[in-house]
Chain A
C-alpha cells in the first residue's frame, strides 16, 4: 500500500511537471490553431538560459525566471511574427507543420553546435531535498512545480476571462474575422498569445532545470508527452491540460512501476493514439471548434 501511494505521489508530481510544460502549448494551439512542434526546443532554450544564469551569475535558479520568461516571450512573439504569421493563410497544413518542425530541428542542432552533446547540470540549490508528506516522499522542487502549475492555470483562466485583453484573445480564438470586425487587431493578439505561451515555457524551464539535466534533446523528450497531455485534455483547454497532465503522470508512474520502466513510453503513447483516434476532441474538449475534423 505504501508503495502504491508512493507511486501515485510520483505520478502526481510528474503530472505537475507535464502540466507546466503543456500549458503554453495548449494556449498557443487554442488561440492560433497552430501546433508548435518547436515547443520542446523553447523549453530546452529556457533551460540552457537558466543554466547559464545560475552558473555564471550564481543566482538561484528560480531567480532566473525574471530573465528567462521575458526572453522566451520575445522568442515566441518573434516566431509568431516572422514565421507563423506569413503562413497563416497557407492553403495546406503541411506548410505550418514544416515551419515549426524546421525551427525545432534548427534549434536542437544549434544547441548541439554551441554546447556539444554534453549534459549541463544546473545547480540544484537544495531543490532535490526529499520532503515527507504523510507516508510518501517527494522532492521539494517537485512540490514547487506542482503548485506553480496550478497557480498558472488559475492565473491564465482569470486573465482570459476577467481582463479586456483576455476577452479579446478569446474572441480572436473563436472567430478571427468577427473579432477583427469588432476592432481587435488579430495579428497583434496572435503575437501576444504566442509570447505568453512561450513565457509559460520560460517559467517551466526555470523550475525544471534544477531537477533535470539539460541537453540539446531534452525538449524532444518532454514535448512528445506534452502533445499527449494537450490532446488528452482537449486541444486549447488550459484546465483540461492540467487534468490531462495528472492522468498522464499517473499512467506513466503506474505503468513504469507495474509494467516495466522501459515500456512506460509505449503505454503513454498507446493511450495517446487511442484518445486521438477515438476522441480527437480530448476527454474534456468541447470548447475548441474541431476544424481539423472534416
Chain B
C-alpha cells in the first residue's frame, strides 16, 4: 500500500477539494466508530467497509467493463466457503483468503468467457442463472458445504484466525481490505487496462481496431474483481462465524452490491464507496432500531431508492459531479490552442513509393446468395495512397473489413509485410493492428463517454504503455488533427467533422504503417475537406501507406497515386485517377448505360 501511495505524495500538497473530501471520508469511516466505541456502531461501519469494498470490486466489471453482473455473490460465496472449509481443517483464513481468491478468479474466467457474447439484460440473466446453479450445488454437496444446515467456524480467536471478540480488529481488516479494493480500482482506472475496458464498453469494434484484445482485458477485469470479492467473502464469513448457501449465494445480496455502485456512480472510482456510505447506515439502523417489526422495510427502501436513482440520477451521485475523475489531467495546465491548427507543415520532398507492403489475392465473399466480393486482388506499396471508389453497394467496406480482420474471406488471402520484411497472414483485428494496420469506420465509432484526449489515448496506448507517454502522444496527435481545443470535451459533443477527425486521430496515435480510411470526408464541409486532404498528404509523407474509400472526387483526384474501382464486388478498373475516370466501364457503373450511349 505505501508503495502505491508514494508516487502521488508530491501531489498531496496541492490536493483538490475532491481529494480532500475523499481523505476526510475515509478517515471518518475509521475514526467515527473508534471514537464512539459502541458495538453496534462498529458493526455498521464494518458493514459499510465490506459493502464499499465489494461494490468497488463489482464496479471493475459492472462499471468499467459495462458487464452488468447480478451474480457477484458467487465470488463472495466462494471466498466465504473456501475460508471456512480451510479454517476447519486448521488452515488460517489469511491463507484461505488467497485460495478462495484464486478459485473465484478461475471460476469467473470460466463462466464469463462464454457470456461475453451477451449484452445488457442477457448478461445479467446469465449471471443470475450461474448464481442459482452455485446455490443449488452448495445445497447439494452437503459433505463439503454442510448443505442447508450451513457451517459454523471452529471458534479460534486471534489475528491468526481473523476471529475476534472485540470489534476493532475486524474494523481494521475490513477497512484495510476496502482500501485495497479502492487502490486496485484507482490503479486500473488510471492505467491502460482501465482505458481499454471503458473503450471496449463504449464501442467494441472500435476498440478492437485500436488493437485492444477485448476478450483478454475483460477477462482480466473479471478475474481481479472476483478475486477481490472472494477475499471480502472470506473476511465476512469469519466475521459472521456462520455461513449457509442461502446467505452466501443470494440474489438480493448481489443486487445490493451492484446497487451501491449505481447510486454512487457506476463506472466511477469512488462512486461505490459513496453509495455504500450513504445507504448502509440507513438500512442497518432501520434494522437495529425497528428489528423484526420492520421486516422488509430496509429492502423496500432500497428498492424505492434504486428506482428513484435511475429515474433522476441515472449517472449516480458521482456522475452528477464529474463522470470520469482523471486526476492527472485536471492538474496539469493545458496548452489551449486558440484556433484549430491544420496539419503540420509538409516535408518539401515526398519520399519515393517503395516496395509492396500489403498483398490482397483473390478475395471471395458471399453474404447468403449475394456475391459481395468476387476475386478481388490488389497490392499496396509503401508511401502510396490508393483510392478505392465505386458506387454504393459495390463492396468497398466489405473489402475493408476483410483487410482489417473484422470479416473472414470465404477464400483468398491478405498478407501484410511485417517489420522484419516478411509477409504475414494476419486473421484477427489485433493481428492486423500488431502488423501496423489501422482503420477508421465509415459510421464514426467514438467512445462516447470518454473525452477526446482519452479517445486518442486508447490508440496511443498501442505504442506507449505508460499513461503519461500515451497522454503526451495523444495531445500531440490531437493538435496535429486540429482537435487541440476539444481535448477535454466528451466525444459525444463533437460535430460530425470533429468526429471524423477523431477517428483518424485515434488511428494515427497507433502510428500505423498502413492506414485504411473509410469515407473520412463524407458529410464534412469544404474547408474541412481541404484540411483533410493536406492532412492525408502529410501522413503519406511520413512514409505511411494509405487505402482510402472516398466519394468526394476532389479528394480522390488530388490525393490518389492509383485508383481501384469496385462495382458489384469486382474490380472493373485500376490505374491513375485521370485515366480511371475516363474509363467507359467506370462511367457506366456510376451513371448507367444510357449515359455512356448518349456520350457517343
User: A residues touching B (Cβ–Cβ < 8 Å)?
Assistant: 34-35, 37, 83, 86-87, 90-99, 101-113, 116-117, 216, 220, 224, 227-228, 231, 260, 262-263, 265-266, 269-270, 272-273, 276-277, 280, 292-294
Q: Which of A91, A102, A112, A293 has most chain B Cβ within 10 Å?
A: A102
- B529, CB-defined interface residue at 8 Å: no
- Complex formed: what's the CA distance from A99 to B263 in Å? 12
Residue of A nearest to B142 (CB): A262
Residues of A within 8 A of B309 (CB): 98, 102
Residue of B nearest to A38 (CB): B303
Residues of A within 8 A of B133 (CB): 265-266, 269-270, 273
Residues of B within 8 A of A103 (CB): 303, 307
- B125, CB-defined interface residue at 8 Å: yes
Residues of B within 8 A of A280 (CB): 117-118, 122
- Complex formed: what's the CA distance from A15 to B214 in Å? 40
Interface of chain B: mostly helix, strand, loop or mixed: helix
Residue of A nearest to B263 (CB): A98
Q: Determine which of B117, B124, B140, B306 lies in contact with A277 in the assembled complex, contact meaning CB atoms within 8 Å.
A: B117
Residues of B within 8 A of A263 (CB): 136, 140
Do A293 and B119 have beta carbons less than 8 Å apart? Answer: yes
Q: Determine which of A34, A87, A105, A273 lies in contact with B252 in the assembled complex, contact meaning CB atoms within 8 Å.
A: A105
Do A266 and B137 have beta carbons less than 8 Å apart? Answer: yes
Q: Which of A98, A112, A270 has most chain B Cβ within 10 Å?
A: A98
List B186-218 residues whose CB lies under 8 Å from chain A.
204-205
Do A83 and B307 have beta carbons less than 8 Å apart? Answer: yes
User: Contacts A224-B128, A265-B136, A272-B129 hold; do A292 and B310 have CB atoms under 8 A apart?
Assistant: no
The 5 A-B pairs of least Cβ separation, nearest first, read A106-B303, A112-B296, A102-B306, A93-B120, A109-B299
Residues of A within 8 A of B407 (CB): none
Interface of chain A: mostly helix, strand, loop or mixed: helix
Looking at the assembled complex, report how far the CB atom of B282 sits from the nearest CB atom of chain A, in whole angstroms: 14
User: B residues touching A (Cβ–Cβ < 8 Å)?
Assistant: 62, 66, 68, 70, 114-115, 117-122, 124-126, 128-130, 132-133, 136-137, 139-140, 204-205, 251-252, 255, 258-259, 262, 266, 294-300, 302-307, 309-311, 314, 448
- Complex formed: what's the CA distance from A91 to B66 in Å? 12
Do B140 and A93 have beta carbons less than 8 Å apart? Answer: no
- Complex formed: what's the CA distance from A104 to B70 in Å? 14
- Complex formed: what's the CA distance from A96 to B262 in Å? 12
Looking at the assembled complex, report how far the CB atom of B527 sits from the nearest CB atom of chain A, in whole angstroms: 31
- Complex formed: what's the CA distance from A104 to B126 in Å? 18
Looking at the assembled complex, report how far the CB atom of B122 sits from the nearest CB atom of chain A, in whole angstroms: 5
Do A106 and B300 have beta carbons less than 8 Å apart? Answer: yes
Do A262 and B307 have beta carbons less than 8 Å apart? Answer: no
Residues of A within 8 A of B124 (CB): 35, 97
Residues of A within 8 A of B129 (CB): 224, 227-228, 269, 272-273, 276
Looking at the assembled complex, report how far the CB atom of B111 sits from the nearest CB atom of chain A, in whole angstroms: 8
25 A-B residue pairings within 8 Å (CB atoms): A35-B121, A92-B66, A93-B68, A94-B68, A94-B266, A96-B310, A97-B120, A98-B309, A101-B255, A105-B302, A105-B306, A106-B300, A231-B125, A260-B140, A262-B136, A262-B140, A263-B140, A269-B129, A269-B136, A273-B129, A276-B118, A292-B118, A292-B119, A293-B118, A293-B119
Looking at the assembled complex, report how far the CB atom of A198 sits from the nearest CB atom of chain B, in whole angstroms: 17
Looking at the assembled complex, report how far the CB atom of B236 sits from the nearest CB atom of chain A, in whole angstroms: 21
Looking at the assembled complex, report how far the CB atom of A265 sits from the nearest CB atom of chain B, in whole angstroms: 5
Do A105 and B297 have beta carbons less than 8 Å apart? Answer: no
Looking at the assembled complex, report how far the CB atom of B412 sits from the nearest CB atom of chain A, in whole angstroms: 26
- Complex formed: what's the CA distance from A277 to B111 in Å? 11
Residues of A within 8 A of B262 (CB): 94, 98
Do B296 and A265 have beta carbons less than 8 Å apart? Answer: no
Residues of A within 8 A of B132 (CB): 224, 265-266, 269
Residues of A within 8 A of B115 (CB): 276-277
User: Contacts A35-B121, A83-B307 hold; do A90 and B126 have CB atoms under 8 A apart?
Assistant: no
- Complex formed: what's the CA distance from A92 to B319 in Å? 14
Residue of B nearest to A235 (CB): B122
- Complex formed: what's the CA distance from A113 to B117 in Å? 40
Q: Determine which of B122, B251, B314 lies in contact with A95 in the assembled complex, contact meaning CB atoms within 8 Å.
A: B314
Residues of A within 8 A of B448 (CB): 91
- Complex formed: what's the CA distance from A265 to B345 in Å? 68
Residues of A within 8 A of B128 (CB): 224, 227
Looking at the assembled complex, report how far the CB atom of A232 sits from the nearest CB atom of chain B, in whole angstroms: 12
Do A95 and B114 have beta carbons less than 8 Å apart? Answer: no
Do B122 and A99 have beta carbons less than 8 Å apart? Answer: no
User: Contacts A101-B306, A224-B129 hold; do A277 and B118 have CB atoms under 8 A apart?
Assistant: yes
Residues of B within 8 A of A227 (CB): 125, 128-129
Residues of B within 8 A of A95 (CB): 310, 314
Looking at the assembled complex, report how far the CB atom of A293 sits from the nearest CB atom of chain B, in whole angstroms: 7
Looking at the assembled complex, report how far the CB atom of B383 sits from the nearest CB atom of chain A, in whole angstroms: 36
Residues of A within 8 A of B251 (CB): 220
Q: Determine which of B125, B139, B295 lies in contact with A262 in the assembled complex, contact meaning CB atoms within 8 Å.
A: B139
Q: Determine which of A99, A105, A262 lies in contact with B299 in the assembled complex, contact meaning CB atoms within 8 Å.
A: A105
Residue of A nearest to B294 (CB): A113
Residues of B within 8 A of A106 (CB): 299-300, 302-304, 306-307
Given contacts A112-B300, A263-B140, A277-B126, 11 further A-B contacts (CB under 8 A): A94-B68, A99-B310, A101-B255, A106-B302, A109-B297, A112-B296, A269-B132, A272-B129, A277-B117, A280-B117, A280-B118
- Complex formed: what's the CA distance from A227 to B132 in Å? 13
Do B295 and A116 have beta carbons less than 8 Å apart? Answer: yes
- Complex formed: what's the CA distance from A116 to B296 in Å? 8
Residue of B nearest to A278 (CB): B114
